[in-house]
Amino acid sequence: MTGQPPLPIYQLQEDHPKRNKICGISVWLLIVLVLLLATVGGVVGGLLGTRAHSSNSSKEGASPNTPNSNTTTPSANERPKFASIATAKAYNETYLQVFYLESTSLKASLFDGSWNDLGDLGPSIDPRLESPLAAVSWVLSGNIQIRVYYFDNKNREIELAGSCTGGGPPCTWTSATMLQASGISNNSSLAVVQWEDAVTGIEVRTMWENTEGKLSGSVFTRGSWSPDTPFVDVLPGTPITANVDSPSTPFTIRVWYRNPKSELNKIQYDSRNPGWKSPAPVITVQNTTTISPYAPIGASIIPANTSTNSSISSSLYLIQDDKRPVVVYSRGNATRYTTNTDSLEAGDDSGGAIAALGWTDPADGGLRSVRVFYSKSGKIQEMVQKGDAWSVGAILGE
Q: How confident is the model at residue 64 (pLDDT cuts 50, 70, 90)?
A: very low
Q: How confident is the model at residue 94 (pLDDT cuts 50, 70, 90)?
A: confident
- 83 part of a folded domain: no
Query: Are residues 185 and 113 in contact, defined by beta-carbon separation less than 8 angstroms?
Result: no
Whether the per-residue pLDDT at 341 is higher than 50: the answer is yes
* DSSP conformation class of 38: H
pLDDT tens per residue, range 189-225: 999 999 999 999 999 999 999 999 999 999 999 999 9
How many structural domains does the chain have? 2
Q: Residue 360: which pLDDT band, with cuts at 50, 70 and 90?
A: confident
Q: Which range among 103-117, 224-238, 274-288, 364-378 shows the weakest confidence by mean pLDDT? A: 274-288
Q: Are strands 82-89 and 96-102 parallel, antiparallel or unpaired?
A: antiparallel
| Per-residue pLDDT reduced to its tens digit, 125-140 | 999 999 999 999 999 9
CA dist 309 and 258 (Å) reads 32
Cis check: omega of the bond before 293, within 30 degrees of 0: no
Look at residue 61 in the predicted model and tell me its pLDDT. Answer: 31
- CA 186 to chain CA mean position, Å: 10
Calpha distance 219→224 (Å, rounded): 8
Q: d(Cα 216, Cα 255) in Å, to the nearest integer?
A: 12
390 residue type, one letter: W
Give pLDDT, residue 290.
Answer: 80
- Most confident range, picked from 130-134, 258-262, 361-365, 367-371: 130-134
Instruction: Give the span between the Cα atoms of 133 and 99, in whole angstroms.
Output: 8
Q: Domain containing 26: what range?
A: 21-55
- Helix%, strand%, coil% for the chain, nearest 5: 10, 45, 45
Count the alpha carbons within 13 Å of 347 in the hemisphere toward its beta carbon: 34
Q: How far apart are CA 385 and CA 23, in angstroms?
A: 93
Of 33, 55, 77, the residue at which a domain comes to its end is 55
| Residue 240: inside a domain | no
Query: DSSP readout, 349-376?
Result: STT--EEEEEEEEGGGTSEEEEEEEEEE
CA atoms in the 13 A half-sphere facing the CB of 82: 30
Q: What is the pLDDT of residue 336?
A: 59
Position 159 in a domain:
no
Q: DSSP for 72-100?
A: PPPPTTTS-SEEEEEEEE-TT---EEEEE
Coil, helix or strand at residue 232:
strand
pLDDT bracket for residue 77 (50, 70, 90): low
Per the CB < 8 A criterion, the answer to whether 27 and 20 are in contact is yes
Confidence band of 288 (pLDDT split at 50, 70, 90): low
At residue 142, the pLDDT reads 86
Residue 388 lies in a domain: yes
Mean pLDDT of 107-131: 95
pLDDT at 309 over 90: no
Report d(CA 327, CA 298) in Å as an integer. 10
Region 309-327: mean pLDDT is 83
Query: Is 360 inside any structural domain?
Result: yes
Contact in structure between 260 and 235 (CB atoms under 8 Å): yes
Average pLDDT for residues 333-361, to the nearest whole number?
A: 82
* Whole-number average pLDDT of the chain: 80
DSSP lists the bridge partners of residue 101 as: 84, 106
End-to-end CA distance of the chain: 56
- Asked if the structure places residue 354 within a domain, the reply is yes
User: Is 326 within a domain?
Assistant: yes
Report d(CA 162, CA 90) in Å as an integer. Answer: 13
Cα 80 to Cα 63: distance, rounded to the nearest angstrom: 22
Which pTM value belongs to this model?
0.79
Peptide bond into 247 cis (omega under 30): no
Dist CA 348 CA 325 (whole Å): 10
CATH number at residue 321: 2.120.10.70
Please say whether the beta carbons of 188 and 179 come within 8 A. Answer: no
Domain assignment present for residue 29? The answer is yes
Q: Tell me: the pLDDT tens digits for 214-271?
A: 999 999 999 999 999 999 999 999 999 999 999 999 999 999 999 999 988 999 999 9
Query: CA angle, corner 276, sides to 270 and 281, nearest 5?
Result: 110
Which residue pairs, CB below 8 angstroms and at least 24 apart, start in 47-52? 47/1, 50/1
Please list, in sequence order, all residues whose beta carbon lies within 8 angstroms of the beta carbon of residue 134, skipping any fewer than 6 positions away. 86, 148, 149, 150, 190, 191, 192, 206
Is the Cβ–Cβ distance between 307 and 365 less than 8 Å? Answer: yes
